[in-house]
Structures are given as structure tokens and as C-alpha cells.
Amino acid sequence: MSATTPSPRRCFLFMPGDSPRKLEKATTLDVDAVIADLEDGVAQERKQVARETVVQAFQSLDFGYRERWIRLNPADSPLFLDDLVATFAARPQGYVLPKVESPRQVLRLSHMLQVLEHARGWPAGHIQILALLETGQGILRAPEIAKADPRLVGLMFGAEDLAGDLGARRTREGWEIFHARSHVALVARAHELLAIDTVFVDLEDLEGLAAEAQRARNLGYTGKMAIHPRQVPVIQATFSPTEEEIQAARRLVEAFQAHQNAGTGAFVLDGRMVDMPMVRAAQKLLALAEQIAGRSTP
């Protein structure tokens, strides 16, 4: 893939940080991003083992085109600082910060990354941050969090923890988290950030996963988290433009350019009025298709 072609970020797969076998397995999967987990996926007594395992894996394994991320423990946890300092040498694409409830937490992580980058002589600001919003406070303060720091490249929505925080009962229909889910997508896209949808916990129901992923895409989400390798192909496919969508978008953009050359603004295509929002959406879809086509294959 060309250095100028950005990577697609459709699926973020969690792997427990204390499992060398599973981290190695991730290097064989066709997945856009791998998150080595130091939080929920690791028992309390194995946190240090996980930190060491993640560094060893990220330094020795060839992840190819797959982005490498690390999920820390929350910013107010006594484990947070040790997680960051112990794993920084792994030089991940970035860190996932869970249970974010204020811009201050993002800023604190960014400042620490700046100090660590400077100490190692690395380029300033190249390690990124994803904020996982999974509490009521985090959802309410999403607009503030979204503009907290330039390192922040996306907002992730955590429905399971949010339901626990609110005392809500999770249902397959998801109406209990619909407002929060829509809000996170809206805020993320308004600030031109990635919008990454929540995990789907039923590992056997791939049809249900596909339906939920499609609903998330319809809301404006750009990708989704996965908790098992079998979920990856479903998510990657759902957040990829279909050939029909690509052809329709290309036709719309070409028609727009032709009308621009003729000095025409809004125009009608296939009985529908076309204006700039529709053109921009088509351009974004084609850009994503180009990213996917330009990426190396496993």
C-alpha cells in the first residue's frame, strides 16, 4: 500500500494482552486493527504479564498492514500509569482509553505521550488516542471530549458498560442505548473523527451481528469492535462499500463534475435532486473503497 494511502479502520479486534498465542493468531487474520487488551480481558493478577507479553508481541511479530493498539486501564485506575510506561516501547499506533468521562483524561494521556515521545526522540504526536465512551457522564460530555486533543482520532461506543452504569436492561432491539449510540456517532462525525460501534456479545449469532453492524453503519459509524476472530469478516464486509455502491457513487461524482464543467450547480440524476452533501458522501465512499483496494492482502 502506498504510504500516502490511509488504512481502512472497519474492525477493531480485541485480543487479551496476556495471551501470546492469541496475539500471534491476530497476525494471520484479515482485520484492520488489533487491540491488545490490558483491561477487562486480563485478570488482576496477570496485568504485569500482559504488559510484558504485549511489548514482546508488538516488537517481534509481523502484523503487516494491521494497526496495533493497546487498551489501557482507566485513567483513574492505579494501573493506568504502569500500563502506559511499561508498554510504550511497543510503539503502538495508539492507545484506547476506556471509561472516558472528561476532556481532562484525554489531555492527561496526551501529555504523558508527549513526554515519553520526547524522551525517546520519536516524532511528537504520532501516537494516537481512541476514547471509549461507556458511562453516562462520558456520553453527555462527548462533544467536549471530541475536541480535547489533536491526538484523538475517534470515539468508541461501549453499550455493555453503559447499560450497567445506567441500570438499563440490555435487549436485542437496543432501544435502551439507542439515544446514546446515535449521539456518539453524531458527535464523532461532526468532529471528523472515527465512530466505532460497540461489541456484539453473542458469538454464535453472526446474522444478528451483521444486522447490528448494518444498523450502526446506517447511523454513521465507520467501524465496529470485535471480541472474537469469527466476527471479523462480518464486520469488515458490512463496513465495506459494495460494488453496487461504488458504481453508483462513481456515476454520481462523474455527473457532478460534468455539470460543474458546464456551469451547473444542483442537478437531477435518476429522478433525484443531487446537491453537495450527496456528492461529498459519494466522494467519501470512493475514498474508503480506494483505501481497501490499496491495502496489502494477508
Catalytic residues: 275
C-alpha torsion angle, residues 97, 102, 106, 112 (rounded to 10): -110
What residue type is assigned to position 17 of the chain?
G
Residue 178 exposure: Cα atoms within 13 Å on the Cβ side: 8
Q: Which of 143, 100, 109, 145 minimizes the C-alpha distance to 127? A: 109
Q: Return the sign of the alpha-carbon dihedral for residues 16, 18, 24, 25.
A: negative
**Residue 130, beta-bridge partner list:** 96, 154
Q: Distance (Å, rounded) from C-alpha 261 to C-alpha 258?
A: 5
Q: Distance (Å, rounded) from C-alpha 63 to C-alpha 90?
A: 12
Q: Which grid coordinates are listed for 99?
A: 471509561
CB 194 within 8 A of CB 155: yes
Q: Distance (Å, rounded) from C-alpha 9 to C-alpha 292?
A: 9
Q: Which residues contact 210 (CB under 8 A, 6 or more apart)?
A: 234, 237, 238
